[in-house]
Structure 1
Amino acid sequence: MDGTAVVVGGGIGGLAAAIGLRRIGWDVTVVERARVLADVGAGISLHANGIRALDVLGIGEAVRAAARPQYTGGTRTPGGSLLARMDGAALERELGTPIVGIPRAVLHRLLREALPPGSLLIGTEVTSVDRSGPGRVRVPVKDGVLDADLVVAADGVDSRLRGQLFPGHPGPVHSGSTVVRAITEHPVLLRTDFELTWGWGAEFGHIAFTDGRAEWHAVFNSPPGTRHADALAAMRRRFGGWHDPIPALLDATRPDAVLHHDIHELATPLPAVAEGRIVLVGDAAHAMTPNLGQGACQALEDAVTLAAALAGEPTVDSALARYDTERRPRSQSVARAARQAGRMGQQLTHPLAVALRNTALRLAPSRVTVRAILRHADWSPPSLG
């Protein structure tokens, strides 16, 4: 089965969905509201399930070449004491690949380059779709209307198309945390590929890149909408006394490179991720907290599963029913696990609870950490035929 699709949203999930649909013979247009593709953003870790999805999409090798494997790392206290060690080699033995770190902008560029010129319309916002016609969907854009057999809603956590499909759903809610992050301006001497540090209601982490630079992020409990006139200075005040290399990471960062976003999630699961000829992928379907590093990986799983369903089913309707059956339970389970990981990790503030958590982490053998990652990363993608 082939057809015509409009993908609303040119982020990781939307571009991956477009690549998957094109690989099964569909004609695809991606509509992105941003007027300029500035390739901004911080860093991202990709687990084995995300890498496997990228392999099916045909760009896994390009991503591996641009990414840095995460063999060394772990979780520490603000004073630098090791709580748990990450065994990237063990993960590679189990899954065939370690976790890798890559600038989000590089991943986005590689996805975009896998699409033909002209398939991406930028500076075009889609706020609703018309489903009145039988078997077709009309997508109003600034220069007219796009007719499609399918609309892929990849318009993020604040998805307007999700709101149109499920007007009674409460939508995203604030998780209780906010994130400040950046990529360093120049290389930083790091002892590990990846690291998290857990304090009281706060986390600081880094991801090392191939060129020696690094992404750092600070996640901490905060009311929504709280902002700082100088976010970098605020991070120095809060985290500057934590262990090395945290001060060095902050010192290697330009103030104008710092991003600050509140973390929102779909705490109330959706009753479906497809309705009529509209299907949700990525954050539009299952926005989750970043505590498992699975947000982008789940979006990549969505893209491959959607393409496989459309390639294997006789009708769009049956394909979307299959997609919903395969994706909704898994993605919502991962979202629940991410929420729980945050509550037991970064969000903990009570001294006794923090002490008990730290003791449990110190006593747990390394294979426990490996099994926890395998629980979500060991996913086998479907074939596109």
Structure 2
Amino acid sequence: MSKAVVIGGGIGGLTAGVALVRKGWDVTVLERAPKIDPVGSGLAIASNALRALDTLDLGDPIRRLARLQGQVGIRDERGRWLVRTTGDDAEARYGDSMVVTLRATAMDVLLDALGSGHLRLNTTVSGVDAGRGVVHTTDGDLEADLIVAADGIHSETRRTLFPEHPGPAYAGVTAWRALVPRGDLTIRSSESWGRGLVFGVHLVAGDIVYVYATDVSPAGAVHADEREELVRRFGGWHEPIPALLRGADPARIIRNDVYHLRTPLPAFHGGKVALVGDAAHAMTPNLGQGACQAIEDAIVLAHFAGGDLAAYTAARLRRTSKIVRRSMSVCRMTKLRNPAAVWLRDLGMSAAARLTPDVMLRSVDDLLRWRPPVETGSGSEGRGPSAAHT
């Protein structure tokens, strides 16, 4: 039986572990933490990622535990809709919609599917030998036919494979995330844009609201009270944003500076190592595709595992590089502070929505129409619009 070692117990690593187990591999997922403790709060899973999870029979469990999105779109800071669509419109167009769930919920589904026997906690990886297929850990060396590096944006494995790559670049914004009780608030899923500011609101399962925000900021800025910082920036915006901030627990607000891999890697593999998720193509959160692309990676990698890993790179590098660039383009639009530029941006979105009512969905067609590779008798992937290359 072929052996695989997965470095990292996040969304991408766990999905890769499950996918490889389903392909008959002997899999060990290594996680340096003493327990799986999801970093973050809410998680959006779009139709492309749900379709990928369907190949593992995990799409429906996620759908049942998540909240399907109704009306979604972009508003200005006063609450005026600039562009919007509905979950029904998305389902009619793509055969599925976007769901939003707790990150912990998605992780639990993946952990249950993987099985505790394939997970090794409290294990630190000190290095890899890509040519020989050896993972060096605090508990000794592990040999593998395939090493899956899902070790995040600051991946040491990526640095080992591509020491000349410049690594993550600061996107120029800092981000906050939190889970807030809904109470008696009326919640409409939306993302509101202001002058350099963004505030997102999504209702998740259990009447918990997932909120996130970004603002232009120097990297490494320190705030004594993150909720006060949010109130200072967004306290005068449309409801329910101020009310949600009043209900937020300051101790449970997560903030991190946003980095991305501005320079694409030359490949997503080297020797017996394959990179997935943020280790391969970290992106800004503006398209909500970070976890979705990690899930796609895992499914495509399992499809090609045991063969030439160059086929995995060929299937994933072009698509993910394009999404990284597009996500950063949206990020740049949100960073605009000049009043005239912001007015023109908002006017352009509103005009486009009036002229083309489905403009919001049409703009992400190539993201959401993706299909997982198709198994054939020869073991090769499908081609055409449903192939993993698109």
For 2:50 and 2:130, the matched residues in 1 are separated by: 35
Residue 164 of structure 2: SS of its match in structure 1? coil
Residues 95-130 of structure 1: CA deviation (Å, up to 9, x unaligned):
111111111111111111111222111111113112
Aligned 1:212-361 pairs, distance under 5 A: 212-310=207-305, 315-316=306-307, 318=308, 320-344=309-333, 346-361=334-349
Offset of residue 132 of structure 1 = 5.2
Is 1:200 the counterpart of 2:195 in the alignment? yes
Q: Counterparts of 1:352 and 1:247 in 2: how far apart (Å)? A: 26
Contact 1:188/1:213 (CA < 8 Å) preserved in 2? Answer: no
Is the CA contact 1:67–1:100 (under 8 Å) kept in the aligned structure 2? yes
Q: Which residue of 2 aligns with 1:26?
A: 25
Gaps of 5+ in 1: none
For residues 6-49 of structure 1, the C-alpha deviation after alignment (integer angstroms, 9 at most, x for no partner) is 00000000000011111110010000111232345211111110
Alpha-carbon offset, residue 187 of structure 1: 3.9
- Which amino acid is 2:163 matched to? P
2:351 to 363, 373, 382: 363
- CA, structure 1 residues 299+359, in 2 after alignment: closer, same or farther (shift >3 Å)? same
Q: Which amino acid counterpart does residue 342 of structure 1 have in structure 2?
A: C
8 A contact 2:74–2:83 mirrored in 1: yes
CA distance in 1, matches of 2:375, 2:174: 38
Contact 1:13 1:296 in 2 (8 A): yes
Verify: 1:175 aligned to 2:163, yes or no.
Answer: no
- In structure 2, relative to structure 1, the CA distance for the partners of 1:343 and 1:32 (3 Å cut) is same
Partner Cα separation in structure 1 for residue 85 and residue 58 of structure 2: 26
CA distance in 2, matches of 1:11, 1:94: 30
Report the equivalent of 2:366. Answer: 375
Once the two structures are TM-superposed, the CA of residue 185 in structure 1 deviates from its matched residue by 3.9
- CA 106–188 in structure 1, closer or farther in 2 if over 3 Å, else same: farther
Q: Cα deviation per residue 1:162-201 (whole Å; 9 max; x = unaligned)?
A: 0000000000011101101100145452341x21110011
What CA deviation, in whole Å up to 9, does each residue of 1:194-226 have, x standing for no partner? 211100111000111121111100111111111
Give the equivalent residue in structure 1 for 2:89: 90
SS of residue in 1 equivalent to 2:211: strand
TM-score (norm 1): 0.94
Q: Counterpart of 2:64 in structure 1: which amino acid?
A: A
* One-letter code aligned to 1:330: R
By relative contact order (CA 8 Å, sep 6+), the higher-ranking structure is 1
Question: Corresponding residue for 1:150?
Answer: 146
Query: Could you tell me how far apart the structure 1 residues matched to 2:81 and 2:280 are?
Result: 36
| Identity percentage of aligned residues | 43
2:186 aligned partner? 190
CA contact (8 A) 1:39 1:109 kept: no
TM-score after normalising by structure 2 = 0.93
Q: Which amino acid aligns with 1:108?
A: M
Instruction: Say which SS state the counterpart of residue 17 (structure 2) adopts.
Output: helix
On the 8 A contact 1:202/1:221 being kept in 2, the answer is: yes
Q: Aligned AA for 1:350?
A: N
What SS does the corresponding residue of 2:126 show, helix, strand or coil?
coil
Amino acid at match of 2:231: R
Who is 1:59 aligned against? Answer: 58
Residue by residue over 1:44-77, the C-alpha shift from the partner in whole angstroms, topping out at 9 and shown as x without a partner, is: 1111101001111221111000111112122111
Give the conservation status (yes or no) of the 8 Å contact 1:307–1:384: no
Q: Which runs of 5+ in 2 are unaligned?
A: 377-390
CA contact (8 A) 1:287 1:295 kept: yes
1:114 aligns with 2:113: yes
Q: 1:244 to 1:276 in 2, by over 3 A?
A: same
Structure 2 counterpart of 1:339, which letter?
Answer: M
- Are positions 1:15 and 2:14 aligned together? yes
Amino acid of the structure 1 residue aligned with 2:343: A
In structure 2, C-alpha distance between the alignment counterparts of 1:381 and 1:60, rounded to whole Å: 13
RMSD (CA atoms) = 1.4
The structure 1 segments of at least 4 consecutive aligned residues displaced by more than 6 Å after TM superposition are none
